[in-house]
Amino acid sequence: MLWRFLHCDPGRWSVQLQPIMRWAAGTHLRLLSARLRGADANQWEQTIRPLLLPTENWDDTLGWRKNMLLLTWLREGYLLASPSCHRLLPKAEHLLMAPEALPSTALVRSLFEIRGECSKDTGGREASGDNIGGSSVDGVEDGGDDDDASDVATQGKLREGCTRKVPLEDVLQQCGAHVRGRGAINAFCERAGVYEVLTEELVKSITHYVRSRLPELRAAAGTEEVLLLEAGAGNGALAHHLRLGLQECGVHVFAADDRSWSLPNYSLPGRQLPVLRRTHRDALRELRPHLVLVSWMPMATDWTAAIRATGSVHE
């Protein structure tokens, strides 16, 4: 009863009660996380499945499938309990958390056992290691193939109402937890609070391109000092490494983000890159950059019109 009370659809609560209920639900999930720390996939499912599906019927999901806090927690817990995360995450977190030097793509692929180039996931949790199509290496976004309710067999079970023979992965996927095609690299990104794993090859390629454009940009801007703005920069990690690679060329790199995602500033031992708290429009108006880089435009939102309309911007 406590589970159903705390983790129902938040829309059922009044606006006044929602902050209190979010706090109570979050506290409960943190306690449950501590209890499940180190659990393997079977142990995790044995604890969680009875809470999600007390009568083993799809109707059990109606009370919680719109609770985004719970779905996020379920995705993280499901991934962390997988054999690949138990095997790969400790070493990956030791080597990749706030590194002084960026890792190579080969190292990241090796750490997360990523195979192939954007290959389709087989649907099996451990079938072929992590799928680069559902991860974030060298600029590939953190996402996976979402089959949702397209599986005919699972749809049949849904129509029957019984979930007893439905794998928990299918239940979580159809309820919006987005677990299919995810693996250790996705768990790493969520735990680290990042949306990509930057590599030295990515930063070098962008740095090389900017250097190649400098003569034309300087001629067009009428100045030797070129301003590069990363808009929607998140925690500023990419801008930080670009600044290191471009500072000797007279390129001033700025990072701006409206902080709507509440990411901490990118930190390295002894230093922190300041990220200006600005929308892309405010940053364009205030900084008047010559070159604009955008890695993460919000879904279904186009910033390019505002960028093109800024007179100082040449690319």
Q: In the chain, what percentage of residues exceed pLDDT 70?
A: 81
- Cβ–Cβ under 8 Å, residues 7 and 73: no
Q: What is the pLDDT of residue 119?
A: 37
Name the CATH code of domain 200-308 (choices 3.40.50.300, 3.40.920.10, 3.40.50.150, 3.90.1580.10). Answer: 3.40.50.150
For the question of whether the overall pTM of this predicted structure is more than 0.75, the answer is no
For the stretch 267-292, pLDDT in tens is: 655 566 788 999 999 999 999 999 99
Domain span(s) for CATH 3.40.50.150 in the chain: 200-308
164 versus 6: which is more confidently predicted? Answer: 164
- On the question of pLDDT at 168 being above 90, the answer is yes
Cα 163 to Cα 9, 58, 134, 150: the distances in Å are 20, 6, 27, 16
What confidence category does residue 309 fall into, taking pLDDT thresholds of 50, 70 and 90?
very high
Question: In the predicted model, what is the mean pLDDT of residues 77-84?
Answer: 94
118-122, 185-189, 217-221, range with the lowest pLDDT: 118-122
Sorted by sequence, the CB contacts under 8 Å of residue 88 that are 6+ apart come out as 111, 112, 113, 184
Distance separating the N- and C-terminal Cα atoms of the chain? 57
Q: Residue 306: pLDDT above 70? A: yes
CB neighbours of residue 251 within 10 Å? 21
